Amino acid sequence: MPSIFLNLPIMREKPSILILNTGGTIGMVLDEKTGALKPVNFDDLFDLIPTLRLFNFNIDHFCFDPLIDSSNMNPTTWASIAKVIEEKYELYDGFVILHGSDTMAFTASALSFMLQNLNKPVILTGSQLPLGMIRTDGRENLLTAVEIAAAKEDDTPVVPEVCICFENQLFRGNRTHKFNAQNFEAFRSSNYPELATAGVSVEYNRAAIHKPNFKKLKLYTKFDTNVAILRLYPGISEKVIQAHLEIPGLKALILETYGSGNAPDETWFINLIKRSIEKGLIIFNVTQCQVGKVEMGKYATSVHLKAAGVVSGHDITTEAAITKLMFLLGNYENRQEILNLLDVSIVGEMTVNS
């Protein structure tokens, strides 16, 4: 993907941060002449947020060209972002990704699977209002993201994982979902605690943060998009479910169930699920609820799913579930190995109780 990269001399005694601008509201400013939004460039960034200079960090800027509306994000773009991080990994202490909020949780989840053995912060942030607007939330979001990306103790990054920083809160990226399109507090992590809260100072929840393993970064860029999501609802018909299960080339299906993993126990539904799994389809049970987890067998209406071979998604988000399936299908050929990895936490994306 074409890009614009500004190389500045790096002084190793200062923290060095690379800001990747993929697009989104935070990466735009209002053109006074045309009244239209335009991409922010590196010089504009420091003019709009002069406080960045007070950090006394070495900050570089990578701008994707063209910039991408987050609604157009896809695995190819995720690979482009991950490759930039891999290429520049040894040159920087941390990375901040400017990204549209609509699909930020998907990208954060995908990057967590792609960047295995990550030992440096990769912080995604954005805003609900463009940087050029007086009331923008982008300034605080970006400043906080940069500060966290540079934070070290004993020369070790404090937060060596993929995160989302939004409205003074830092979340594990693959535990996050967007829940509000109107207010500045756009994201929540309903089933996992905040990694940090930014108030007068940044308070880190160290018990919840990944510990570095100091292994070499390993990049995965293959994703298989032959997956689908089926959300159950009262009155869903046999033909609707059958249409999903018989999508040509479909390899895996996320079944968004009720409550703790419940689904209809009508004979036609059970038979459809069972036959599809017998034919090789992987079905991943994810709850529609934002808080809580799948517990197949807790109620009678989920016993048949477990018996048919449906895999529990535990407390995983739909965003993490879809990217995890794409990642596993793209990098593993053995079906049983994929099923085994679905049922465990690979990069902290879900809590599995023994």
pLDDT at site 93: 97
How would residue 332 be classed by pLDDT, with cut points 50, 70 and 90? very high
Q: How, if at all, do strands 94-98 and 122-125 pair?
A: parallel
Residues paired with residue 156 on neighbouring β-strands, in sequence order: 153
How far apart CA 295 and CA 326 sit, in angstroms, is 23
Q: Is the pLDDT of residue 41 over 80?
A: no
**Catalytic hit among 25, 103, 317, 318:** 25
CA atoms within 13 A on the CB side of 129: 13
pLDDT tens track for 198-233: 988 999 999 999 999 999 999 999 999 999 999 999
Q: Percent of the chain beyond pLDDT 90?
A: 72
Q: Is the pLDDT of residue 121 over 70?
A: yes
Residue count (the chain): 354
Find the distance separating the first CA and the last CA of the chain, reported in whole Å. Answer: 44
- Output the DSSP codes for 261-278: TB----HHHHHHHHHHHH
pLDDT at site 43: 67
User: Which pTM was predicted?
Assistant: 0.91
How far apart CA 26 and CA 101 sit, in angstroms, is 9
pLDDT at site 35: 73
Higher local confidence (pLDDT), 267 or 51: 267
Domain ranges across the chain: 3-219, 227-342
Higher local confidence (pLDDT), 349 or 182: 349
Q: Is 227-342 the same fold as 3-219?
A: yes
How would residue 186 be classed by pLDDT, with cut points 50, 70 and 90? confident
Q: Which CATH class is domain 227-342?
A: alpha beta
Annotation marks residue 25 as catalytic: yes
C-alpha distances (whole Å) from 215 to each of 116, 160, 273 are 9, 12, 41
Unique residue bearing structure tokens 């773009």: 77
Q: How, if at all, do strands 115-116 and 196-198 pair?
A: unpaired
How would residue 12 be classed by pLDDT, with cut points 50, 70 and 90? low
pLDDT tens track for 273-294: 999 999 999 999 999 999 999 9
Q: Is the pLDDT of residue 8 over 50?
A: no
Q: Is 214 helix (H, G, I), strand (E, B) or coil?
A: coil
Spatial CA neighbour of 22 closest among 95, 92, 94: 95
- Residues 202, 206, 211: CA angle, nearest 5 degrees: 125
pLDDT at site 10: 45
Higher local confidence (pLDDT), 200 or 128: 200
Q: Is the pLDDT of residue 6 over 80?
A: no
Q: Which CATH class is domain 3-219?
A: alpha beta
Higher local confidence (pLDDT), 40 or 142: 142
pLDDT at site 32: 73
CA atoms within 13 A on the CB side of 240: 10
Q: Is the pLDDT of residue 175 over 90?
A: yes
How would residue 187 be classed by pLDDT, with cut points 50, 70 and 90? confident
pLDDT at site 11: 44
pLDDT at site 54: 86
Pinpoint the alpha helices (H) of the chain.
42-48, 75-88, 104-114, 138-150, 238-245, 267-278, 300-308, 318-331, 335-342
Average pLDDT of 254-261? Answer: 96
How would residue 114 be classed by pLDDT, with cut points 50, 70 and 90? very high
How far apart CA 293 and CA 172 sit, in angstroms, is 17
Peptide bond into 212 cis (omega under 30): no
Unique residue bearing structure tokens 């209809």: 264
The mean predicted confidence, pLDDT, of the chain is 90
How would residue 86 be classed by pLDDT, with cut points 50, 70 and 90? very high
Spatial CA neighbour of 288 closest among 323, 263, 325: 263
Q: Is the pLDDT of residue 42 over 90?
A: no
pLDDT tens track for 62-71: 988 888 888 8
Q: Percent of the chain beyond pLDDT 70?
A: 94
Q: Which two tokens stand for residue 88?
A: 């520049």
